[in-house]
Structure 1
Amino acid sequence: MSQQNDTAIKSGSGLFWRATLALCIGSYIIFANLYLTQPLLPMLAQEFDVSALEAGWSFTVSTLMLGLSLLVYGPLSDAIGRRGLMILSIGGTALITLLLSQSHDYTTLLILRGLQGFLMGGLPAIAIAYMGDEYSKKALMIAVGVYISGNTLGGISGRLIGGFVGDWLGWSAAFEVMTLLSVVGLVLFALLLPPSRRFKAKLLHPIAMGRDLAGHLRNPLLLAAYLIGGFNFFIFINQYSYITFVLSDAPYNLPASLLGMLFLTYLSGTLGSAFSGKIAQHMPQPMVIALGICVLICGSLVTLLPSLIGIIAGFLLNSFGFFLAHSSASGWVSRAAPHARASANSLYLVFYYLGASSGGFYLDPFWQWAGWSGVVAGSIIVLGITLSLSLWLLLQDKRHLQAQPA
């Protein structure tokens, strides 16, 4: 046992920074590819003569397949190893991006984006498991925070690249630039990530896995957290898709490059994530979730102000509130799961990405009915439900504390 501990990657060591940098690069590439199309939606709608909802499918089909793939990659990596699957995930993502740049019809583009979404899931499903195998406990706590920042930076960069390159050279050039960036990231990832030294293969047990997942879904506390995370993302991420159509039209008439800049509002979400742990030291986690949802509701209402500054301010509030609630809900899942915590967290991410992929279908009738005001109205309805669920969790939490012996 002591020998195994000696092989663990220690925080602050050269190996720690090498491995963590590799995982951040991999995360950056995956999420940059995932979000590349969001600022391009008006351009894709015009190029392929499709509606706003249909243009949004280029994003939602990827998130749908990514969410579903998480149920596959985790158990598969337990059986055959982590590193090779992560390299395959990044390499496959890069190859599909190159093929996307050559798409001549929208059906082909959607099929490729769906396949790409499934390939993308390999890295986020496995990266933290790799850290859990190879890092010491102290190093793991530090590395996870750094790794999540790679997710955020990848999402922002993908949107900025899509916006600026798309505006300058066209949508297909945005995919070509992303291909080049992905290949460079793949090479760096493969060179930097140390081989697994502490991994122990496990047999696949589909029946036991299914039993664990079914048990989580029957747990009302976990199910409430899954619905909160999924439906909050259902609204939050798809608001960004519809606001691109608002801002690309009169009176704003923003080009794709400036549409991409809107996604810098995600940076306030980094603060929301950071504050969630500190706030949770002073109030119950369900109350922090409720607080985040209330901020998200307020931000949505602020976007109704008829000015670009109002819209930006609203999305800054949205991002802060969403990530405050998301971080707290994710932490609640780890706390509330009585067993099989890894599969409980995986199921949370499945709901999370399924929410992202389906929110556009729900919001589109509201968009057709009343434009952006309709989108906000539809958003408030769903956020009212998630707020109610968070308050129900708070009530259950208080009952649990009162039932404990003094």
Structure 2
Amino acid sequence: MSRAANKQETTASEVASRAELMLVKNEPPAESRQFLVRGTPAFRRATIALFLSGFATFSLLYCVQPLMPIFSEDFGVTPAASSLSLSLSTGFLAFAIFGAAAVSESLGRRSLMFISLLGAAICTIVCAVSPSWHMLLVARALEGFLLGGVPAVAMTYLAEEIEPRGLGGAMGLYIAGNAFGGMAGRVVTGTIAEFLSWRPALAAVGVLGLIAAVGFLCLLPPSRNFIPRNGFDAAFHLKAWGGHFGNPALPPLFAIGFLVMGSFVTVYNYAGFRLVADPYDLSQTELGLIFTAYLFGIVASWAAGLLGDRIGHFVVLPAGVLVAALGAAITLATPLPLVILGIVLVTIGFFVTHSVASALVGRLARGAKGHASSLYLLAYYLGSSIAGSVGGSFWLADGWSAVVTFILAMLTACLVAAFGVARLARH
């Protein structure tokens, strides 16, 4: 065979290989991709829509957190049992993310996210009228299952549709929406519960979720770099998920998601029990206002995305973990201002770490980005569910000092993983 024929055959083989790779990635060829460019109206609409989705997800998910002491009293359950109102939601959400990633391959990113937000908002309204503790837990579990259709798909949409130069900032703004929603849900329920009761408080958050879902649907541009996949190919999904564990930089990122989220949720789950007791005796409104620390998380997540794009994600990532650890240690102090300062630093450190880790998953995944995001968020929400409930055992054993010891152990492991990601990614 002539050299020219060999060259022609090699070129044809390379083209076929590239085409097959794009099919596996479920993306169009690179030369035909149309990104949303920073500064354009479509980019702004997309980032606002994803901000709303983050707001709705976290306000609906975490609105019960300041109500745990009330649940414990009204329903006669222990602090650890009251944490099930959150842990069940995050646990079901973690596993639903797997199904959501697969369903979005055929249903589409935008449609699945809207249906999930709408259903979760309705579940919150159902919780507000639940006659028993067990029915409330069932509604919260279903709500978590439905919300599984948002986080991984939102991260995938950003990774697919946003130009690489703007991905860090867009991801930071999306996570800022998470922070704002987490704060608003907690403050709204804490304040309304103080003057009325926990039932109208949950109903109000449910209505806010409905409004955010409609705004999301109206603003988000349709996907342009996503090719729907017909049917459900179990082998494809299993291969895609398994393939990400062959990428050495990704498992440490999954571990970071588990550990940093577990630490963060443990702080907020049990700080309330500490602060409503002696010597603080905070009211529900005052306790809800503690969650305005999330305002610092909004700024931190946005700034972390921009800093990661400019000075390097592997510099910002361990810095976020160290800030969270410092904050956890400061909460051991007795004066209330120092306790609040510690919670603020934990919040900043968490959102910096999560924002950077989320962006790195999208950057380092070799194709099938939705599956990579689903694995990260599986670990992330399992951290919330498992550590958030396990922290109750430490609280019962030796109070806040035991809780902080548990948190610092997790953050130490998180720091080791952060340095490991940097080393593995460089190689």
Please give the TM-score of this superposition, normalised by the length of structure 2: 0.83
**Cα distance in 2 for residues equivalent to 1:270 and 1:177:** 22
For 1:38-87, what per-residue CA distance to the aligned partner results, in whole angstroms no more than 9, with x for missing partners? 11111111111111111111011111112212111122122122333222
**Cα distance in 2 for residues equivalent to 1:276 and 1:19:** 16
1:38–1:98 CA distance, 2 compared to 1 (3 A): same
1:372–1:188 CA distance, 2 compared to 1 (3 A): same
Residue pair 2:304, 2:356 contacting (<8 A) in 1 also: no
Q: Give secondary structure in 1 for the equivalent of 2:269.
A: helix
1:136–1:238 CA distance, 2 compared to 1 (3 A): same
1:76–1:389 CA distance, 2 compared to 1 (3 A): same
Q: Which residue of 1 aligns with 2:52?
A: 25
For 1:178-210, what per-residue CA distance to the aligned partner results, in whole angstroms no more than 9, with x for missing partners? 222233333433444455666532133321221
Structure 1 range deviating more: 138-147 or 325-334: 138-147
Q: Which residue of 2 aligns with 1:222?
A: 250
Q: Give secondary structure in 2 for the equivalent of 1:122.
A: coil
2:145 aligns with one of 103, 106, 118: 118
Q: CA RMSD in A?
A: 2.9
Q: Which residue of 1 aligns with 2:79?
A: 52
Give unmatched runs, 5+ long, in structure 2.
1-27
1:218–1:310 CA distance, 2 compared to 1 (3 A): same
Q: Give secondary structure in 1 for the equivalent of 2:117.
A: helix
1:61–1:141 CA distance, 2 compared to 1 (3 A): same
2:93 aligns with one of 53, 61, 66: 66
Residue pair 2:170, 2:305 contacting (<8 A) in 1 also: no
Q: Match of 2:289, as an amino acid?
A: M
Say whether residues 1:232 and 2:251 are aligned partners: no
Q: Which residue of 1 aligns with 2:307?
A: 278
Q: Which residue of 1 aligns with 2:285?
A: 257
1:198–1:337 CA distance, 2 compared to 1 (3 A): closer
Q: Match of 1:234, as an amino acid?
A: G
Say whether residues 1:308 and 2:332 are aligned partners: no
1:108–1:271 CA distance, 2 compared to 1 (3 A): same
2:200 aligns with one of 153, 162, 173: 173
1:248–1:330 CA distance, 2 compared to 1 (3 A): same
**Cα distance in 1 for residues equivalent to 2:423 and 2:158:** 35
**Cα distance in 1 for residues equivalent to 2:222 and 2:416:** 46
Residue pair 1:5, 1:136 contacting (<8 A) in 2 also: no
Q: Match of 1:49, as an amino acid?
A: G
Q: Which residue of 2 aligns with 1:153?
A: 180
Residue pair 1:262, 1:312 contacting (<8 A) in 2 also: yes
Residue pair 1:277, 1:328 contacting (<8 A) in 2 also: no
2:213 aligns with one of 172, 186, 192: 186
1:20–1:329 CA distance, 2 compared to 1 (3 A): closer
Give unmatched runs, 5+ long, in structure 1.
401-406
Q: Match of 1:319, as an amino acid?
A: T
Following superposition, the deviation at residue 352 of structure 1 comes to 0.6
For 1:348-375, what per-residue CA distance to the aligned partner results, in whole angstroms no more than 9, with x for missing partners? 1110111011112322222112100110
Residue pair 1:164, 1:256 contacting (<8 A) in 2 also: yes
Residue pair 2:59, 2:184 contacting (<8 A) in 1 also: yes
1:138–1:293 CA distance, 2 compared to 1 (3 A): closer
For 1:137-177, what per-residue CA distance to the aligned partner results, in whole angstroms no more than 9, with x for missing partners? 67766644433322221111111111111111111111111
Q: Which residue of 1 aligns with 2:21?
A: none
Q: Which residue of 2 aligns with 1:351?
A: 379
Residue pair 2:304, 2:316 contacting (<8 A) in 1 also: no
1:365–1:134 CA distance, 2 compared to 1 (3 A): closer
Say whether residues 1:370 and 2:398 are aligned partners: yes
Q: Match of 1:278, as an amino acid?
A: L
Say whether residues 1:86 and 2:146 are aligned partners: no
1:10–1:326 CA distance, 2 compared to 1 (3 A): closer
Following superposition, the deviation at residue 19 of structure 1 comes to 4.6
Structure 1 range deviating more: 54-63 or 119-128: 119-128
For 1:264-323, what per-residue CA distance to the aligned partner results, in whole angstroms no more than 9, with x for missing partners? 2223334443246536855771x5433322222221111011011011111111122222
Following superposition, the deviation at residue 249 of structure 1 comes to 0.9
1:332–1:187 CA distance, 2 compared to 1 (3 A): closer
* Percent of aligned pairs with the same amino acid: 34
Say whether residues 1:209 and 2:232 are aligned partners: no
**Cα distance in 1 for residues equivalent to 2:360 and 2:214:** 37
Q: Give secondary structure in 2 for the equivalent of 1:74.
A: helix
Q: Match of 1:164, as an amino acid?
A: T
Q: Which residue of 2 aligns with 1:322?
A: 350
**Cα distance in 2 for residues equivalent to 1:9 and 1:321:** 29
Following superposition, the deviation at residue 101 of structure 1 comes to 0.8
Residue pair 1:11, 1:142 contacting (<8 A) in 2 also: no
Q: Which residue of 1 aligns with 2:7?
A: none
Residue pair 1:280, 1:288 contacting (<8 A) in 2 also: no
Q: Give secondary structure in 2 for the equivalent of 1:66.
A: helix
**Cα distance in 2 for residues equivalent to 1:191 and 1:283:** 34
1:325–1:50 CA distance, 2 compared to 1 (3 A): same
Residue pair 2:128, 2:200 contacting (<8 A) in 1 also: yes
Residue pair 1:86, 1:123 contacting (<8 A) in 2 also: yes
2:415 aligns with one of 378, 387, 398: 387
Following superposition, the deviation at residue 395 of structure 1 comes to 4.9
Structure 1 range deviating more: 258-267 or 300-309: 258-267
**Cα distance in 2 for residues equivalent to 1:86 and 1:10:** 22
